[in-house]
Amino acid sequence: MDEPHALWMPSNNYFPDRAGHTPRWIIIHGTAGFGSAEEVGAYFQRVDVCTHYTIGRDGVLVQSAREHDGAWGNGGITAGHDPWWSHEVNPNNVTISIEHVKPHHDNSDELTEIQKEVSFRLIQHICERHHIPMRAADTEGGITGHCSMDPMQRSFCPGPYPWEELFAFLACSENTALPSEI
């Protein structure tokens, strides 16, 4: 596994070795249903969809695809997408996807405190491992919601997410590197 302490529930729904691409963006999702990360992980083992990670409302972290592979989690790009997405490259091959368990089907649930903490740390670690910019997404990379690439069918994904808190946390973490990390 890529993230320490994650529960490994592998799915067969991935693109091996990302077709030679490097992850540049992190995509934040909401599950629009389900009660736990383990339930989502089991679902990913049965159907033709998968994200890299799922974070439960209790803070449980499940990993279903390795970061060096592209997970089948983003679907396609629809009209009105942010300008950096291209139909020439499968978006799953340039992203790492994180689901957040949200029991309501409209993704209206706020994250729990522990879910938020696990999410922020996971995003920080992924950014550090893959040199993904620790900021809102743009053409160079960064962090955004699923709605960024599919505003037609996924306008409600991820639903409420504490973006300002995330970016403040990441800015603080970038400025507090230990001397051995500089």
Q: Label residue 173 by pLDDT band (50, 70, 90).
A: confident
Give, for 79, the enclosing helix (H) or strand (E).
Answer: none
Contact 94, 25 (CB under 8 A): yes
Domain borders along the chain are 7-175
pLDDT tens-digit profile of 79-102?
Answer: 999 999 999 999 999 999 999 999
| Residues 6+ away with beta carbon under 8 Å from 5 | 61
Give, for 76, the enclosing helix (H) or strand (E).
Answer: none
113 pLDDT more than 90: yes
Better pLDDT: 173 or 70: 70
* Overall CATH class of domain 7-175: alpha beta
4 pLDDT more than 70: yes
- Predicted confidence at residue 75, as pLDDT, reads 85
- Predicted confidence at residue 143, as pLDDT, reads 98
pTM of the model: 0.94
Contact 65, 14 (CB under 8 A): yes
